[in-house]
Amino acid sequence: MSDTYNGWTNYATWRVNLEMFDGQSAEDLGCFTRYEEPDTSDVAQYLREWAEESISNDAIPEGLAIDYALAFLDQVNWYEIAQHFVDEWNELRQEEEREEEEESDE
C-alpha cells in the first residue's frame, strides 16, 4: 500500500500545502520574485521556516500543543511543496515568454 495522499508524499505534506499555501504564489509568500531564478532547496527551507513561524506566532501557547504542531511539520516533504512553487514559476515565465514572442511577431 502506498503512503501517498491525494498525490502528495503523505498526509502532512498535502495538509500543510492545502491549509497554509494553497492559493498563494511564491511572490505572495516572499520566497522569490517573478524575475529571480528559484532554487528549490532554498524555497523549501523558506517555506518550512515560514510555516514554523506562523505556528509559533499564532495563539498557540508554548507547550504540548506547539510541540505536536512542530512534530507534524517534521513529517512534511518541504522539497515537494517547494518544487510545486518552482514549477508554477517556470510555467508562468514560459507563458510570458510566449506572449512576448507573439507580440513581437505581430
Instruction: Find where cell 492559493 sits.
Output: 23
Full-prediction pTM beyond 0.75?
Answer: yes
Tens of pLDDT, residue by residue, the chain (106 residues): 457 899 999 999 999 999 999 988 877 888 777 777 788 999 999 999 999 988 877 655 677 888 888 899 999 999 999 999 999 888 988 998 899 888 888 7
- Measured at the alpha carbon of residue 26, what is the angle toward residues 22 and 30, in degrees to the nearest 5? 120
DSSP secondary structure, 18-32, as one string:
IIIITT--HHHHTS-
Q: Three cell numbers at 16?
A: 500543510
Do the beta carbons of residue 48 and residue 55 sit within 8 Å?
A: no
**Crossing angle of the two packed helices 40-57 and 64-73, in degrees rounded to 10:** 160
Do the beta carbons of residue 80 and residue 87 sit within 8 Å?
A: no
Question: Using CA atoms, how far apart are residues 78 and 95, in angstroms rounded to an integer?
Answer: 26
